[in-house]
Amino acid sequence: MKRPLIAPADPDRLDTWARYAKGLCRDCRATCCSLPVEVGIEDLIRLELADPFERDEPPRQIARRLMKAGVVEHFNQKQARFTLARHSSGDCLFLDRQTRLCTVYARRPDTCRNHPQIGPRPGYCAYQPKTG
């Protein structure tokens, strides 16, 4: 069954986002993977960027180490949330540049697992159709 044409979304303009429907991701260029991804320590452990024993370490210390390694670009001390670094293109570090598929899908952070139910515009996504 052909899906109706949906205009490409501008990730920075929530009013252009498409209402999420099952199967929409199959035809998308993974635009959501260019949005900032905030994670917690459990996500970092699942991604194997932190060890389980680091749960008791000060989050700021973990942030410093991961920022130095180029994996985290920002740390919010008040909420103990880490923002994952992105490629210069804006894409997530874990997005394959050729296939546009997640390279850590089974271990992806909760932010990604819960998108688009939770996010900047719940129930909507920054859908952009694949080209070529």
Please write the tens of the pLDDT for every residue from 61-93. 999 999 999 999 999 999 999 999 999 999 999
CA 98 to mean position of chain CA atoms: 17
Q: 11 to each of 2, 35, 65, 120, 121, how far by Cα in Å?
A: 24, 7, 30, 10, 11
Q: Which helix (H) or strand (E) holds 114?
A: none
Q: Where are the alpha helices (DSSP H) in the chain?
A: 41-46, 59-68, 110-113
Tokens 């719940």: give the residue. Answer: 122
Please write the tens of the pLDDT for every residue from 91-126. 999 999 999 999 999 999 999 999 999 888 999 999
Please write the tens of the pLDDT for every residue from 10-52. 888 999 999 999 988 888 999 999 999 999 999 999 999 999 9
Is residue 3 predicted with pLDDT exceeding 60?
no
Give the model's pLDDT for residue 1. 47
Is residue 132 predicted with pLDDT exceeding 90?
no
Is residue 53 predicted with pLDDT exceeding 50?
yes
For residue 3, give the DSSP letter.
P
Q: Where are the domains of the chain?
A: 14-125
